[in-house]
Each structure stands twice: as structure tokens, then as C-alpha cells.
């Protein structure tokens, strides 16, 4: 009788646990953008940072991320014919030494990029998303031995651009902060 009671208790406990957590994880299977948005234009971002080709890196990262995670959205560079437009401006770019070696030379640098992004619904002529102060940071390191020197600044900027693009696309696809 005790064995049967233990089995029934274990079965009921398992059923309660399984049924209670069935809805905890739901993968994102569709975009939270308005349903009429099928084509997104990503014109070249503006460069107010006076840093060579940084706007190209950020534009390319957003396009690649939209293609990768956009749930079937068509991506183009021209505004004409697009349902929504992602406009971006790279406002500033800076880097500074954050860790010095024993001789007082900077070995680790921090890169900071500030950008502005607006997503506009072309059909309803309304802003879906607007953030005029996106700030992204990343680090890169110089080698101690000059023979092994490899400038890590460019890869650091590419990592920041990917992080920026992931944030924008996640916001659009998941609907966090998208204006209703």
C-alpha cells in the first residue's frame, strides 16, 4: 500500500510540474512588426563621426542581421517600395586607453560608438521605433611584442556593429519598445 501511495504521489507531482511549466518557453516564430510590413529598406547610415567607413560597417551589419533573423522580411537599400525604413546615423566614435602596461603605454583600449536609429512605417507614416542615443562599447588589445602586433581596432568596431545590429533586429522582431 505504501509503495502504491508513493507511485501515485510521484505521478501527481510529475504531472503538476510538467503542466505548470508548459508555457514558460515559447520560441519567437514570427515578427512583432505590423503584419503589412514585408519589405524593409536599410539606406546607408549617415556618418557624423568622421571615422572612415564606419557607417558602411553598421549598415551592412543591420542588413545581415535582418536577413539572418528577420523571419522572411525582404531587405533592400532603396526607400521606394519598402513597407518600413530603418534610418541610422553614427553620431560619434571614440577610443581611449583603459589599461596601461608597466611602461605607461596603453595596452587595452575601449571603443565607444554612439548612434541614432529610427524605424518608420511607410504606409501609416508613423514611427515604430526611435532611439537617438544608442551607445555601444567594446575593447581591443595591443600585443606587448611589436613583432606580433595586429591592430584590433577594426575587428572591435565590427563586433560593436554586430552587437548594434543584433539589438536593433531583436527589438523589432520581439516587439520590445516598438510603438503601437
In a domain, 5, yes or no: no
Per the domain annotation, does 42 fall within a domain?
yes
- What confidence tens digit (pLDDT) does each residue in 59-84 have? 999 999 999 988 888 999 999 999 99
Given a contact cutoff of 8 angstroms between Cβ atoms, the answer to whether 129 and 171 are in contact is yes
- At 80-139, the pLDDT tens digits run 999 999 999 999 988 777 777 777 766 777 888 899 999 999 998 899 989 999 888 877
Residue 18 in domain: no
157 in any annotated domain: yes
Say if 24 falls within a structural domain.
Answer: no
Which domain CATH number covers 160? Answer: 3.30.160.150
What does pTM read for this prediction? Answer: 0.71
Helix, strand or coil for residue 22?
coil
CA distance 6 to 14: 12
CA distances from 4 to 9, 10, 11, 84 (A): 9, 10, 11, 62
- Whole domain around residue 36: which residue ranges? 30-174
Query: Which of the four pLDDT bands, split at 50, 70 and 90, describes residue 27?
Result: very low
Whether 157 contacts 54, CB under 8 Å:
yes
User: Residue 85: inside a domain, yes or no?
Assistant: yes
Average pLDDT over residues 168-175: 82
Residue 21 falls inside a structural domain: no
Packing angle of the helix pair 54-69, 153-174 (nearest 10 deg): 40
Query: 79 lies in a domain?
Result: yes
CA nearest to 58, candidates 150, 139, 142, 169: 169
Q: How many structural domains are present in the chain? A: 1
Amino acid at each position: 500500500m505504501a509503495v502504491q501511495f508513493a507511485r501515485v504521489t510521484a505521478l501527481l507531482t510529475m504531472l503538476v510540474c510538467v503542466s505548470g511549466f508548459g508555457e514558460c518557453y515559447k520560441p519567437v516564430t514570427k515578427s512583432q512588426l505590423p503584419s503589412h510590413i514585408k519589405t524593409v529598406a536599410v539606406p546607408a547610415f549617415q556618418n557624423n563621426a568622421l571615422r572612415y567607413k564606419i557607417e558602411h560597417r553598421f549598415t551592412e551589419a543591420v542588413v545581415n542581421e535582418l536577413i539572418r533573423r528577420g523571419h522572411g522580411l525582404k531587405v533592400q537599400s532603396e526607400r521606394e517600395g519598402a513597407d518600413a525604413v530603418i534610418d541610422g546615423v553614427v553620431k560619434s566614435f571614440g577610443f581611449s586607453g583603459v589599461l596601461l602596461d608597466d611602461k605607461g603605454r596603453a595596452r587595452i583600449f575601449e571603443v565607444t560608438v554612439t548612434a541614432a536609429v529610427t524605424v518608420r512605417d511607410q504606409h501609416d507614416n508613423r514611427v515604430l521605433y526611435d532611439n537617438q542615443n544608442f551607445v555601444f562599447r567594446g575593447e581591443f588589445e595591443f600585443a606587448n611584442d611589436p613583432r606580433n602586433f595586429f591592430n584590433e581596432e577594426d575587428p572591435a568596431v565590427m563586433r560593436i556593429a554586430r552587437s548594434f545590429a543584433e539589438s536593433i533586429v531583436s527589438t523589432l522582431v520581439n516587439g520590445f519598445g516598438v510603438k503601437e
